[in-house]
Structures are given as structure tokens and as C-alpha cells.
Structure 1
Amino acid sequence: MNALPAGDGHPGTSTRSIVLTPASAIRMRPVYWTWTDRIPAGSITLIPGREGIGKSLTLAWLSAQITRGTLPGQHLGQARPVIYAASEDSWAHTIGPRLYAAGADMDLVYRVDIQEETGFDALTLPRDCSALAVEIRRLGVALIAADPLLSLIAAGIDTHRDRDLRTALEPLAKMADTTGCAVVGLAHFNKSASPDALNLITGSRAFSAVARAVISIARDDDAGDGSCVMSQSKNNLGRLDLPSLRYIVESAEVPTDEGPAYVGRLVFTGESDRSVADILGDNAGTGDADNRTERDAVAKWLIAYLTEQGGEAPWPDVRKAARVEGIAERTLQRARPRAGVVTELAGFPARSMWRLTLSDTTAPAAPVPPQSRQLRQLPERGATGVTVGRLAQPPTGRDTPSPPLALFPASANGHEGTAA
């Protein structure tokens, strides 16, 4: 490694110097995954979407899986702590019950506040990155959950200016990299109409640029059951061709000292034929009304066809019959949820069957206000394989002095801080 003077070349005119390191001196390492193929460890991941579709439920579900060691990834089988920074909801009334309903180990979820001489303040980026890194290493934290990430940015930073926002996000990304901790932050969609989820994230493009992965969420109105779809919209460190996942929100009762509290809980129902891009494209397209009319017509045809076949038929037969009617395969797939048709494997060798379920069309489930809950079992298929690895040892060095962090386990009583 060679250090060369920067500036005009005259000695003493600059304290900066250029450091050149040969690539051969840099140790190459594999990518470790907090959630296999979806959330990389040591990086920032964004979960954007519109309001009221369960983004916070997803974050609570992730936290619960980490604290129980049940999330497919490098921490599978190892319960790890989570630091949860939330600013829009009450811990007593919302966040605590959400985590409890999600099945989280409440002793391993920590609310984070900044303690100062005058009291408590909110966690602020980039100011508190160094102090946060100290606590991550001390406790072995596997996940920083930010609900939403925007609320952690210092007030003086213009989050709509790329250069300004990077002054907060790049130190956070460096902190995640040196500690091996995953940072997962929620983000909101703006009011624009676009099929590209990255273009809809409120604020500067720096949010999606600095994040190594983006998992977008959208409600599928055509499904008829209030379900939402989760898709991988960005994945710089891994695969992008991951199956989209579908989930619903169910109601759950949480016991408290003052009587029961009622929240929602997230339940994955399997993979989705429609992606978030498909859903956003429907909403953004100028021919949306025509598209919906076409899907309605195809859904009616599909119901009639399967009824004639006794309620179910092999997928090749459905596709063949649709082609005879001039129905494109993509349109048929998008009309399937609207028709209340489910797919399942049957027989030996297994083959895909399309089955009509009248209950799906006559009695759709009523959506529940977004809360949270633990998933009993992850979808059986999809990118849920296991990658077991060990976090790299962080480099040594002194952290920049910062106000001390006050970490409160979610099970603790007493101080209700302002940070979360």
C-alpha cells in the first residue's frame, strides 16, 4: 500500500493523501444473508410501499424470526438480538403488542434512545452511527429495524437532495459493513404512478442507490381477499429472479395487565403469480380500465371452464383451452386470483392443477389494520434455502465520541422514550 501526497505537490500544503492498495491485498469474501437471497447481512435493505399494507408487520415479523433463530439465513438456529427504532407508533400500544403477537423474544428486542444531560432524544443519523456500532458489537445484534428509515435522518439534511442524503446513509452503510449487522428500513411510496418501485420511494434516489436490496410491497386488489404481494425489486448482491410472496393480515389478541389488546398478524400464504411490478403497472397504465375489463372477462371464462371440468383441471389443459379462445397466458395468470382459482401440485408424478374455490370468491377475508405477528411457517417453496456462515470480525479502531445509547428490552417497564 503506497501513500502519495494530494493537492499541489508541495510538502505541508495538505493533510490528505492518496492511498493506493493493490487488489491482490484485499481479501475476497462471500456474501452472507440475514434472510437467504433477500436481505444481505452487513448492508442496508429498504422495504417500501404505500401506507396501510403491512410494512411494519413485515419488520416485526423479521424481528421475531431473528430473535427466535427461525429465519432462513446465516442466523438460522441462533437467536440473536434486534435493535428496533420506531418513531411513528407507541411502544406500549402498538409496537410492543405487534412484536408479542409476532412471537418475538421480547428480551432480545431493544428499543433505542439517546441519553443526554437534559433527558432522552431520538437516534439520529449520521451522528449516532459510531455509538450504535459499539452496542451492535457488545450485544451481537443481527438486525437494525428502522420504522421508518427517513425518521432517523438528522433534521438539517435535505432528504430530497442526493448529495445531502448520502451524508447520512453512507456512514450507516459503512457501519453495517464493519459490524456485519443488517439494516432494514421502511420507506413510503410517493403519489406518482409508475411500475418501477424504485422510482416511487419518497425522497432522493440515494435511498434506493445506497441500499443493496429493496423488497417492495403492494396490495393486490384483483386478488379479492385483501392480500398483498412482496417482491424483490433490487438485489445488488444476489439473485433478482426470486419468486414473489403473498401474505394476508389476520387479527390477534394480545394479553395485557389492563385487559386484551387487539392487533394484526402477518401470515404468508405462498408464492404469487403477480409481482409488485405487475400491480404497480396496472395502476400506472393508461389503459387500466380496459385491462381490468379484459381480466374480468377472462376470469368469467375461467370459472365457466373449470366448472365444466368438475371444478379443476391440469394447467396444460387450461392453457390449451385458453389459447383456443385467444387468451394470452399472461392475462390468464393475472385473472386467476380474480376468479378465485388456486394452484396446487397433485398426482405422481406431480403436476400443477388449477382448482376453483367458490369460498374465495363469495366470502373474501376482510382486511385488518396493519399490525404484526409471527409466521408459523415460511412458504415451502421459493428463495428460503439456508446459507450458514459466520460474521467477519470487525476491524479494530476507536469510534467517534457520541451521546450514549440507552437500550431498553421490549419487555422492560418504565421509561417511554421519545426515540421509538
Structure 2
Amino acid sequence: MTAALGLVDPYAGVPAPEHPPGEGPPTGRRKVTLTAASGVQLRAVRWLWDGRLPLGSLALIGGREGIGKSTAAYTLAADITRGELDGHHKGTPRAVVVCATEDSWGHTIAPRLLAAGADLEQVYRVDVTTSEGVDGGLSLPADITGLEREMNRVGAAMLLLDPLMSRLDSALDTHKDSEVRQALEPLTALADRTGATVLGLIHVNKGRTSDPLTSLMGSRAFAAVARSVLYVVADQDDPGLRLLGLAKNNLGRGDLPTLRFRIESHHVTDTDEGPIWTGRLAWAGEDPRSLTAVLEDSHDTSDNRTATTDAGDWLLGYLADNGGTAPSADIKTDGARNGHSYDALKRARTRHGIESTNSGFPRRTYWSLPNTQTGDDA
């Protein structure tokens, strides 16, 4: 048929493979198989932390050094050991496995866990001994089999890698997508097999960007492979306040509220060597701003921040005086009369979580205080 159509058969003259029909050529110990989608078992998403950290997946917490991401991570770990974290295991204390390389267990990690109320019997440190009997650090993926065995033995619900990059193979080029993906794939498979959450802490670049995923250090593949990415940033208007937002959530909602917290000094205990103090996380409610808005706000100049603060104070009062809702055109006009630029008003709207809706005919845009019904919804 090919010849009749005047086409060249690309396989003409190529000898038939020397293996039975339906079987591929030998490839050493590797074997390729196909599985029909109908044979795949459907699985519902289960959450270690409701809506934020999925079980059986790789997740990240990003943020600058010293911002409080470790304190946040160990607070979650402590809640897991007491069965108090809102999620699938609430009511059932579970173990947490911790691999930390930047902090001392005696000086920092154990005191931090105690301050958070952890059951230390449910927290396990990872130690590795080489075949030569030498103590060494965990290296992934080389130690994945032994790590999985130990996680299953203690029934771990979370593996905390603090930080993530220090546990990956030293030969890895963390700026190459292909190498990062190959390094993280065994971790994602480990999470899937054990049903635990693998939570890696990761630093961010020094560049200025309002995209939290772009700011993560190393290849973009870190954020791409992770199913969930939490992000910690300081509040520009209150340096003591920290904000924990959800930068990515492949398996659930992406509009969960940003959480506020502070780190307070806490006396853990007294020892023969002296008193032990550490930082303890204290939750401080929710923030109306999205994570992107917080990052944009943090990059504002001091003049812009002052203008935004002043515009926000005026805008909140203006909307309250108008029953919680006003046309954006009126806000722009009246704001200008009071010395507030429209750009400052828009930044203030984002900062305070003021909603923008369209309704009526012809369509008009309204700004409303949160939970205020407007227009067609009234």
C-alpha cells in the first residue's frame, strides 16, 4: 500500500526484532509495563493539616532565614505528636521524624519542641551509620530504603527535613530542573508509600518579587514537584508579626486565609548549666490579605507604605459611613479630594481585604467591606 501511494516505507529493509511478538528487547534489569487507567485505585485526598498539608505528598515551607519557618514547622510537629493538628490524624497522636542539620538538638530543637508542647517520645531524630561504622548525615536518595523502614516502624505521619537541600545528594545541581526532579521523585514516592507528609524547609532568594514560588532558592522544579507550598513573611507594618500563607495547593483550595503569628520568648526549664529559653509560636488570627499582596506591600517604598496606610484609614472610615459599600468611581473622586491617589487606595483595598464586585446595568464596580452584600447579591 505504501509503495502504491508513492511513499517511502521508513522500516523497509530493517530486520524484524529477535524477540517474541508482544515482548520488548532485553533492557538489563529494567522492565516496562503498561497499566490500564481502569485498574488504578481511586484515592481521596487526606490532609495532615486541613487544606494546607496533604498526606502522602511532598510539601515545602519557604521563607527568609530567621523569619520563623522552623518555629512554625516544629509547632506543627508538636501538634501532630499530641493529636491536636486539625486534619486526618486529629485525636490520634502520631510520630514525627526530624532530620535537621543547621541547629543543635540539645540547644535548639528539643527546647523548641518542648516549648510547643511536643510529646518527645513521638519525635525521632535521624541518625545514619555507614558500612564502615562511621556516623554520617542522611543522604537522599541513597538512604531512602532505610528511612522508609524506620518511618513505618514508628508510624510517622510527617518527615521534616530542615532544610531540604542539605539532605539531597551533594552532587546535585540545585539549579537544574532535570536533576532536581530526579532527586525529589524518590521523596514523593516515599511519601506516597508511607502515607506521610514529607515537609521540606527551603530558603528564598534575595531578589525582590511578589511571586513566592519564584523566590524559592534553586530550580523552579522544587515548587513544581511539591503539591503544597507554605510561605512565611514578615509584616511590613509590624516587624514582630509573621504571616503564614499558602503559595501553592495542587490538591485543595488556594484561597485559604493567611495566618498571623508571633514568636514569643519562652522559658523552657532550668538545668545545671543554666536556664533554657527559646522562641514559641503564638497564633494571632487571620489576615485579610493574600500572600501576594503581603509580598507586594513589603516591596513598597516607605513613602508608598505611608500613603497606603493613610489611604487605608480613610477608606475604611468612608465605607463604614456608607453602609459598608460604595461605587469605586465615588471612592476615587472623594479619595482624591482628601489627598489619596487611586493607586494608594487600590493598595489599601488589597491590604484590608476589601472586596470588588460588579452589578447593575450598566455595570458598576463597588468596593465593600468583607462580608457586606452588594448590588445583585443584596
Q: How many residues align?
A: 323
Determine if contact 1:219/1:229 at 8 Å carries over to the other structure: yes
Gap runs ≥5 in structure 1: 1-7, 307-312, 338-350, 354-420
Paired residue for 1:297, among 300, 310, 314?
310
CA distance in 2, matches of 1:231, 1:197: 10
Equivalent in the alignment of 1:72: 86
Equivalent in the alignment of 1:344: none
Give the Å deviation of 1:120: 1.3
The superposition leaves residues 32-75 of structure 1 with CA deviations (integer Å, 9 ceiling, x where unpaired) of: 10001100001011000111110000111011010000001110
The superposition leaves residues 231-273 of structure 1 with CA deviations (integer Å, 9 ceiling, x where unpaired) of: 1111111111111111111110010422321111111111101
Question: Counterparts in 2 of 1:14-413, with a 5 A limit?
Answer: 14-15=27-28, 16-116=30-130, 117-222=132-237, 224=238, 226-258=240-272, 259-284=274-299, 288=301, 291-299=304-312, 301=314, 317=323, 320=326, 323=331, 324-325=334-335, 330-333=346-349
Residue aligned with 1:19, SS: coil
Code of the aligned partner of 1:163: S
Give the Å deviation of 1:138: 1.1
Code of the aligned partner of 2:255: D
Give the Å deviation of 1:191: 1.1
CA distance in 1, matches of 2:201, 2:287: 22
Determine if contact 2:309/2:348 at 8 Å carries over to the other structure: no
CA distance in 1, matches of 2:295, 2:65: 14
Residue aligned with 1:325, SS: helix
After superposing the two structures, state which structure 1 stretch, 252-261 or 14-23, moved more. 14-23
Task: Classify 1:122/1:316 alpha carbon distance in 2 versus 1 (closer, same or farther; 3 Å).
Answer: farther
Give the Å deviation of 1:283: 4.0
CA distance in 1, matches of 2:321, 2:87: 33
Task: Classify 1:245/1:330 alpha carbon distance in 2 versus 1 (closer, same or farther; 3 Å).
Answer: farther
CA distance in 2, matches of 1:316, 1:134: 63
Determine if contact 1:193/1:283 at 8 Å carries over to the other structure: no
Determine if contact 1:273/1:333 at 8 Å carries over to the other structure: no
Give the Å deviation of 1:291: 2.9
Task: Classify 1:73/1:233 alpha carbon distance in 2 versus 1 (closer, same or farther; 3 Å).
Answer: same
Give the Å deviation of 1:13: 4.2
Equivalent in the alignment of 2:362: none
The superposition leaves residues 200-221 of structure 1 with CA deviations (integer Å, 9 ceiling, x where unpaired) of: 1111112111111001111011
Determine if contact 2:294/2:351 at 8 Å carries over to the other structure: no
CA distance in 2, matches of 1:9, 1:283: 64
After superposing the two structures, state which structure 1 stretch, 316-325 or 232-241, moved more. 316-325
CA distance in 1, matches of 2:97, 2:180: 22
Task: Classify 1:228/1:97 alpha carbon distance in 2 versus 1 (closer, same or farther; 3 Å).
Answer: same
TM-score by length of 2: 0.79
Equivalent in the alignment of 2:4: none
Task: Classify 1:78/1:335 alpha carbon distance in 2 versus 1 (closer, same or farther; 3 Å).
Answer: closer
Structure with larger Rg: 2
Determine if contact 2:235/2:298 at 8 Å carries over to the other structure: no
Task: Classify 1:9/1:102 alpha carbon distance in 2 versus 1 (closer, same or farther; 3 Å).
Answer: farther
Gap runs ≥5 in structure 2: 1-15, 20-24, 354-368, 372-378
Code of the aligned partner of 1:83: V
Code of the aligned partner of 2:281: L
